[in-house]
Amino acid sequence: MSETKTCPHCGKVFNRPAESLDFNWNRRRFCAEACARAALIAKAKSGNKTPYKASNSPITRDEAERFVALLNDGVGMTEATMRVGRANGGRMMLAAIKHGLMEPPPPPQPEPEPKPKRIEPLAAGADETWGAMMPDLNWADAQRQIANMRAY
Ligand SMILES: [Zn+2]
């Protein structure tokens, strides 16, 4: 089975070289290295900057100020970011903080968990235990009876 691709630069249809590994063939787009290089140069010269690169440019103080002003007007972070012409609200916040226009958020405070109260062991003969089991015999009498039993 012969596999072919069409070079996006020169339009030439080229065959998969017999020795080409799947990995290399799948990644290959151009008929020749010269075409790959020429296509790269043509793209760079076209000035077609990707939005990703544009959004990665440093955020100016002016942009940060407009962003903070929008937030102060009650505009949501995502909306304010878009209106300034940016894509990443997190970066806008960081820039605003860096430019001294916003207070950095306080570090998250962990919810104070109530410490479990130490449960003291019940004293021997406490009403909660002895009293519940032997309502007709108080602890002191029981102790005395046991002492007498030992005497025999
Ligand atoms: Zn080509």
Do 41 and 67 fall into the same domain? no
Do 26 and 58 fall into the same domain? no
Query: Above pLDDT 90, what percent of the chain?
Result: 46
Do 69 and 57 fall into the same domain? yes
Q: What are the pLDDT digits (tens) for 10-33? A: 999 999 998 889 999 999 999 999
Do 56 and 44 fall into the same domain? no
User: Is 105 a member of any domain?
Assistant: no
User: Is 93 a member of any domain?
Assistant: yes
- Looking at the structure of the chain, the number of domains it has is 2
User: Is 34 a member of any domain?
Assistant: yes
Note down the domain range covering 27: 4-48
> How many A from CA of 56 to the centre of ligand 1?
32
> How many A from CA of 46 to the centre of ligand 1?
18
Q: Is the pLDDT of residue 52 over 50?
A: no
User: Is 150 a member of any domain?
Assistant: no
> How many A from CA of 37 to the centre of ligand 1?
10
Do 44 and 11 fall into the same domain? yes
User: Is 126 a member of any domain?
Assistant: no
DSSP 3-34: -EEE-TTT--EEEPPTT--HHHHHH--SSSHH
User: Is 106 a member of any domain?
Assistant: no
CA distance 19 to 5: 16
User: Is 8 a member of any domain?
Assistant: yes
Q: What are the pLDDT digits (tens) for 133-143? A: 888 888 888 88
- Does the global pTM surpass 0.75? no
Joined tokens for residue 82: 């878009």
Average per-residue pLDDT in the chain? 85
> How many A from CA of 54 to the centre of ligand 1?
30
Joined tokens for residue 23: 């990995």
CA distance 37 to 30: 9
Of 77 and 148, the one with more pLDDT: 77
User: Is 82 a member of any domain?
Assistant: yes
Do 71 and 87 fall into the same domain? yes
> How many A from CA of 106 to the centre of ligand 1?
56
> How many A from CA of 34 to the centre of ligand 1?
8
> How many A from CA of 15 to the centre of ligand 1?
12
> How many A from CA of 25 to the centre of ligand 1?
15
CB 68 within 8 A of CB 96: yes
Q: What are the pLDDT digits (tens) for 72-106? A: 999 999 999 999 999 999 999 999 999 999 888 78
Q: CB within 5 A of ion ligand 1: which residues? A: 7, 9-10, 12, 31, 35
Q: Is the pLDDT of residue 42 over 50?
A: yes
With cut-offs at 50, 70 and 90, classify the pLDDT of residue 6.
very high
